[in-house]
Amino acid sequence: MGITGLIPFVGKASSQLHLKDIRGSTVAVDTYCWLHKGVFGCAEKLARGEDTDIYIQYCLKYVNMLLSYDIKPILVFDGQHLPAKALTEKRRRVSRKQSKERAAELLRLGRIEEARSHMRRCVDVTHDMALRLIRECRSRNVDCIVAPYEADAQMAWLNKVDVAQYIITEDSDLTLFGAKNIIFKLDLNGSGLLVEAEKLHLAMGCKEEKYHFDKFRRMCILSGCDYLDSLPGIGLAKACKFILKTEQEDMRIALKKIPSYLNMRNLEVNDDYIENFMKAEATFKHMFIYNPLERRMQRLCALEDYETDERYCSNAGTLLEDSEQALHLALGNLNPFSMKRLDSWTPEKAWPTPKNVKRSKHKSIWQTNFQSENTTTPKKENSCALFFKKVDFVSKTVNEEIEANQRLEQAKQTEAQLFTMYSFKAKRRRSPSRSDSVDQERTPPPSPVHKSRHNPFAKERTIEDCNQRSPVVCENASLLRLLSPKKASPLGGEADVKKVDSLKRSIFAKEQVQVRSRFFASQDEQTRHQKEHLNDTEKDNLDEQKLGSCSGHKKLRLERKDFPLDNQIRQRCNSQKSDGETDTDTTASSLLESQEQCVPSPLGSQEEQNQSQPQTPTKSNTKSTTIRLKSLDLLLENSQDPTEFDRNNNDAVILLSDDSCSSEQRASSTSTSSTLQRQNSLPTSKRRVGLSKPSTAKKGTPKSKTNGKLGAVSQNQTKLSMFGFQKKPMLK
């Protein structure tokens, strides 16, 4: 039941959280929440008495999700019912029975849909069902514990002693047990709502120095909780008002002042209510839990801690004298209601692992040496990040560069992790020189390197290279390869792999690459200053004018009907292209981008992606040449023949900036290579690849204004939209 309206009430103490933020931690899970949701999917089968494991599989999905984020789950189950909740449970049983009878009746009448609705209401989660899940978890080395009474108290204790740093539940009652970090509404994408106890004073509107957790708990009890109904007319708001007003610590005295403090003269606070209030408070403080580290039952908080009179603890459970029985109850071997032995599992015995079951490597709370090695809070991992070199040729100072380098060094330790995050399930084609390249990655060659001033992602070239080889239009090997694989990679597939490796090195190891979601740009100072004095329409006109006159651009059109995707990639793609991207004149960027959207992201949640794309412009903007390394990698990996791109006639448009080019040129795929070759004669400093709309373009500009074209870019402007990683740079 929980506290009505508590989650909205604690809004100021809550924040969105993703499981990736709590890697390496341990969470206690209110497993009945998952079981109840899982049961919903197979309620009809269960109501008919058919065997199903759908609810088990549903729970295991969550377990696996947690494990995938290197989070150790401890599944906590409810134990015996407290006397205080006996009435509630009885009501529920009656309600379920009625629902079952009604469902049967509706089925007889042929009203299937209505019957289904009632069938969902008549299914209960039994301990047998919980035991099935416990058995599955045991085989996966995932810890489970059955609380002597309420799972809430057990989880709060695990949180209190720091065995679990977070708690996953849907029950707002948990906050009253003193849990520190609670995750509500966790979904299968890994997103949830974190409520932090240390911020609860914000929700109450109380100064931190005047706040004590007891005040919050008393407020909640006053507003009505599982163990005590509220006084008529008292909700969270009024309870909060009263608690903040009273200075009296002794609630037996304070509660009598409610009518006068809240100006509710007709309200009666009798002795019964006060007695029950004291009992409710004691229940939240002193309920019995099981300590798996010391293998004994104990109270959540000792009575001495609060100098609580034991007579108020009548709803806080009783101590099981038989310690063996208490242990087996906690292990899940006993039915908590009948105390009947159902299983004989012990943590000491090595149990065989079923085939195809992957065991977690986390240390079990049931291991005797767990406490000595796991009592410290896991170190929060440094955020891994890539940095991008902000191409600001005017204002960049040496100090800034040093700072950026320092940040890069700090980020390096997590590069390996980052590579893992952005790796693909598709098998990587390993080149024979792979090991060499890995070594090189660790110890970059000390040779003098010529770095492009315009393209931070450009492949590094030695000075000798610059002298010997004719300059290429596209310094980015991957992009060039995409445009013209034959010309770009005369050495064949192996050379391409090397090029990509080198490209990666240049991004991840050498260059300072700040990752932005889709594109990054250095603003052309001249254009920017010019635009500052113009209104939006004039800005757009300026953009169009620049593009139209093509004073510095060359437009290449690669006629292709289909993009080279192997079946594996195609299967991942769910036609997520938006309307704007389904034009027949689809650009290479949008094609790549639409594919990119289909590639499973290590980040997962949409919300997070939004966060990581603070400057993501409108669709028309993102349609610009945004080519992601991941896509290129994927394409390269999945294309056995480097010339495969040519065989597929994709429709791609790439803008190239070139002062010497005075008019818009279009070239078919057959002429692309020659066009690129002509570009080779251009001065390096004037090469532009992958131009996109300037970031100063008015957000949400109607497509008609820009005519669906890419934005104008002046000759000094470098706007590369080639590697739009989704990882948000998070630096501390």
Partner DNA sequence: GTTACGTTTAAAT
Partner DNA sequence: TAAACGTAAC
Of 572, 519, 728, 731, the closest CA to residue 20 belongs to: 728
Q: How far is the CB of 183 from DNA (least distance, A)?
A: 14
225: DSSP letter: B
Site track for DNA across 115-154, x = CB under 7 A: -----xx---------------------------------
- Contact with DNA (CB under 7 A): which of 78, 143, 152, 171? 171
Is position 188 an interface residue for DNA (rule: CB under 7 A)? yes
- The torsion angles phi and psi of 730, rounded to 5 degrees, stand at -125, 110
Determine which residue in the list 35, 195, 234, 500 makes contact with DNA, applying CB under 7 A.
234
Residue 61 touching DNA (CB under 7 A): yes
Among 68, 95, 537, 610, binds DNA (CB under 7 A): 95
DSSP 8-state class, residue 616: -
Q: Kindly report the CA angle at 258 between 255 and 262, in degrees rounded to 5? A: 160
Contact segment (CB under 7 A) with DNA among 2-10, 136-144, 276-284, 453-461 equals 2-10
**Any contact of residue 45 with DNA (CB under 7 A)?**
no
* 434 touches DNA (CB under 7 A): no
The answer for 475, left when phi > 0, alpha when psi is -120 to 50, beta otherwise, is alpha
Strands 449-450 and 461-462: antiparallel
Rule CB under 7 A: is residue 37 a binding residue for DNA? yes
Nearer CB in complex with DNA: 57/433 = 57
Least Cβ distance, residue 135 to DNA (angstroms): 19
Q: How far is the CB of 52 from DNA (least distance, A)?
A: 10
How far is it, in rounded angstroms, from Cα 454 to Cα 323? 72
Is the Cβ–Cβ distance between 385 and 413 less than 8 Å? no
Determine if 90 is a binding residue for DNA (CB under 7 A). Answer: no
Strands 688-689 and 166-168: unpaired
Q: Which of 21, 23, 36, 580 binds DNA (CB under 7 A)?
A: 36
Does 707 sit near DNA (CB under 7 A)? no
Number of residues that bind DNA (CB under 7 A): 34
Residue 205 makes contact with DNA by CB under 7 A:
no
Closest CA to 286 of 252, 311, 250: 311
Among 110, 232, 352, 354, which residue sits at the site for DNA (rule: CB under 7 A)? Answer: 232
- Which candidate, 368, 346, 348, 345, places its Cα nearest to that of 295? 368
How far apart, in whole angstroms, are the C-alpha atoms of residue 45 and residue 51?
Answer: 7
Phi-psi region of 263 (alpha: psi -120 to 50; beta: other; left: phi over 0): left
Interaction of residue 96 with DNA, rule CB under 7 A:
yes
Q: Which is nearer to DNA, 8 or 683 (CB)?
A: 8
Alpha helix stretches (DSSP H) within 246-365: 251-254, 258-261, 271-286, 303-306, 323-331
Query: Given the structure tokens 């590094």, which residue do they identify?
Result: 460
Where do we find the tokens 């806080």? Answer: 316
Minimum separation from the CB atom of position 342 to DNA (A): 23
Q: In this structure, which amino acid lies at residue 185?
A: K
Query: Contact with DNA (CB under 7 A): which of 48, 90, 92, 358?
Result: 92
Answer yes or no whether residue 73 interacts with DNA by CB under 7 A: no
Interaction between residue 7 and DNA (CB under 7 A): yes
Q: Is residue 386 within 8 Å of residue 514, measured between CB atoms?
A: yes
Q: Pairing between strand 181-184 and 166-168?
A: parallel
Q: Is 230 in the site for DNA (CB under 7 A)?
A: yes
Q: Which of 82, 115, 129, 239 binds DNA (CB under 7 A)?
A: 239
The residues of the shown chain that bind DNA, judged by CB under 7 A, are 1-2, 4, 7-8, 36-38, 40-41, 54, 57-58, 61, 92, 95-96, 120-121, 170-172, 188, 223-224, 230, 232-239
